[in-house]
Amino acid sequence: MSDVSDKTDTTGKRMGLGRRELLALGAGFTLGGISPPAAAAIEPWRQPQPETGEPASPPRVAMLVYPKMVLLDLVGPLTVMNLLPAEVHLVWKDKSPVSTDVGLPVTASTTFAECPENLDVLLVPGGISGTVQCMNDLEVITFLSQRGASTKYVTSVCTGSLVLAAAGLLKGYRATSHWAVADLLPLMGARPARGRVVRDRNRITGGGVTAGLDFGLVLAALLKGEEEARRIQLTLEYSPAPPYRNGTPEEAGPERTAEVKRRRRALDEQARVAAEAARDRLGL
């Protein structure tokens, strides 16, 4: 990243906006993946907010980024968490840009090794074949299963739940996924549940792609209360009005569903093979 318009943070990898910008969007501050000591040095307002009695530390959120992910799965929850505000770390093995479905690369702010231990949220977004690769990647699986054991909320959007399940994190939990692959969850010990956002104890899983917004608001309410979630919903004017009632197989009907499944067949078969390998690895 040699040439960055506007501001850049000390690492040059991600860019934050000024406090005035963030206030305008309803946020108090953001750390944008800067580790706390550096942030304290450059963000002197990161102090308890006397007028509201807000605690000094925002929720600490790690979101996995990986090659061949679906960008919208990430940007929905990321936008909500940014307005909360949360301290968000985009985590991956390294800080090389990774590809996304829409051709815009994303760069991790934090490596697995740098990722803080005491997370409030661990989120795995969904993807295309990158999701299958993560299910089969022991470095990814090991990172998730270690952090998942000590994180307050272990979460996913879309096919990200397949990766959580492959890491053994959904064994015995109710969970959802993109409708086209939700039938793979029980192979890895999860109890499949239909629902836009499914919570079972500290596991929170969202449905396909666009469920990331509903998921993000549910998470915001858990972290900072209903009023904060409502403020963010109004800021984002989230009063959806889809042109058709066609977002689920039930709504779309069998013919349209078969057509979408047909186009996804090769990918969904790869996911099944990976789920079966994970089942064997987990001894299920």
Active site residues: 158
Do strands 87-92 and 60-64 pair parallel, antiparallel, or not at all (unpaired)? parallel
Contact call for residue 21 and a second copy (CB under 8 A): yes
Residue closer to a second copy, measured from CB, 201 or 261: 261
Contact call for residue 17 and a second copy (CB under 8 A): yes
Choices 115-123, 140-148, 162-170, 244-252; region in contact with a second copy by CB under 8 A: 244-252
Which position among 39, 62, 64, 78 is part of the footprint of a second copy (CB under 8 A)? 78
CB 180 within 8 A of CB 268: yes
Residue closer to a second copy, measured from CB, 195 or 282: 195
Q: Between residue 245 and residue 274, which ones bind a second copy under the rule CB under 8 A? A: 245-249, 251-252, 256-257, 259-260, 263-264, 266-268
**Numbers of helices and strands, H then E, in the chain:** 10, 9
**Total site size for a second copy, rule CB under 8 A:** 96
If one counts every other C-beta atom within 10 angstroms of the C-beta of residue 156, the result is: 32
Tell me how far, at minimum, the Cβ of 31 lies from a second copy, in Å: 9
Q: Between residue 182 and residue 201, which ones bind a second copy under the rule CB under 8 A? A: 196-197
Q: Which residues of 82-109 are buried (b: 16+ CB within 10 A; e: fewer)?
A: bbbbbbbbbbbeebeebbbbeeeebbbb
Contact call for residue 235 and a second copy (CB under 8 A): yes
Per-residue interface string for the shown chain with a second copy, residues 121-160, x marking contact by CB under 8 A: -------xx----------------------------x--
Residue closer to a second copy, measured from CB, 94 or 276: 94
Whose CA is closest to 63, among 135, 123, 126, 145? 123
Contact call for residue 218 and a second copy (CB under 8 A): yes
Crossing angle of helices 71-83 and 211-224, in 10° steps, is 30
| ω into 85 cis (within 30 of 0) | yes
Q: How far apart are CA 149 and CA 236, in angstroms?
A: 33
Contact call for residue 97 and a second copy (CB under 8 A): yes
